[in-house]
Chain A
Amino acid sequence: MIGDILNFYGQTALPQIFGYWHDAGLLETMSIVSDGVSQGDDGALKRSDESGDYAAVPVSVRPAKKGETLLSGEKVQETGVFVLVFQVNREDENGALERINFDPRIHRFVVAQRDPEPEKLFAPLYHADIAGAIFEVVCRKEN
C-alpha cells in the first residue's frame, strides 16, 4: 500500500536521514515558535511572550528569489523570500517519534545563529505538507 510506504518514508527513513544530514553539518537548526494571544479589557487582541513549541528541528534553508526593499508602514523595509524544508516527523531527544504539528496561522521559524551568521526569523507565506513526510514552506524573512 502506498500509505505504508509513505509512513515508512516519513516516520522511519526521513527522521534518520535528516538526523544524519544535520549531524554531518548539512542542515541548519531552527526552533518553531508562536505568540500567545489574549484579549485586553477593550476587547482587542494583545500579544504575550513568544513561546518555543519545537526546539532543535533540522531544516534546509534556501532563497526562493532575490530580496527587495519596499516602502511599507511609512518606512523603508527589506524582505526576502526563502524556502524552508523540514521533516513532518522527527525523533525527539529520547528517540521517540514526534509529529511537528506546524500551524501556518501561528508559527514562525527561528533559524539558529551560526557564527558569523546571525539568528534569522521567518514567517510562513505558503506551505505544503508533502504526503505527511516533508513540510516545504515558502517564508518571508523578517530580519
Chain B
Amino acid sequence: MLLQDQENRAIFARLNVPSVVGAGLASAVFLNEADKSASYPYVVFAFTSGFPVDYSFGPTPVMESGLWTVKVVTDLKGARPDSIPTRALKILEACDEALNAGLQLATGKNLWCRRFANLPPYKELVGNETLWHYAYAMRLVSRPQN
C-alpha cells in the first residue's frame, strides 16, 4: 500500500474518535470530499503538498514528507451556541491533540506528525447562509519500512 494511502487511513483513524466527532464538536470526518448529507460543522482533511522523496543509495525511498490540510467547515447554525470561530477552533484543537499522538501506519512508520502552519479562514456564500472554513496545515514525515 502506498505510503500516502496508509497515512490517509491513519489520519482518519485518529480523527474519527469521540474527542473530535461528538456533541458540540464535529459531525463527521471526511477525506477530500464531504458527504452531501453531512451536517455542519464537519472536518475534511486532504493531501495538499509534497516534498521531494528522500532516497538512499538505491531506488528505495527512505523517507517521504508531505503537507495535509485539516479543515473545519461550519455555518452559524452548526456552530451554535458558540460563535463560528470558537466552535471551529475548538474542533481544530481537538484534531491537533488527536494527531499529536502520531500515526499508526499499516506497514510503514510515521516519524513526524505536527501542525505546520495555521491557515487564514475564508468564507463562502451558499444560498442565504455563509459557510466558514478554518484550517491548518499539518506536516507528516514517514518512512515506507517499519
**A interface vs B, CB < 8 Å?**
37, 39, 41-45, 105-106
Contacts and interface: CB of A to CB of B under 8 A. Distances in A.
Interface of B: 5, 8-9, 11-13, 15-16, 29-33, 35-36, 45
Per DSSP, chain B at the interface is mixed
B32 A106 contact: no
A42 B31 contact: yes
Contacts of A39: 30, 35
A100 to B, nearest CB: 19
A12 B71 CA distance: 49
A43 B30 contact: yes
A45 B37 CA distance: 12
A106 B35 CA distance: 11
Contacts of A45: 30, 32-33, 35
A82 B111 CA distance: 54
B8 A44 contact: yes
9 contacts: A39-B30, A41-B12, A42-B12, A43-B9, A43-B31, A44-B30, A44-B32, A45-B30, A45-B32
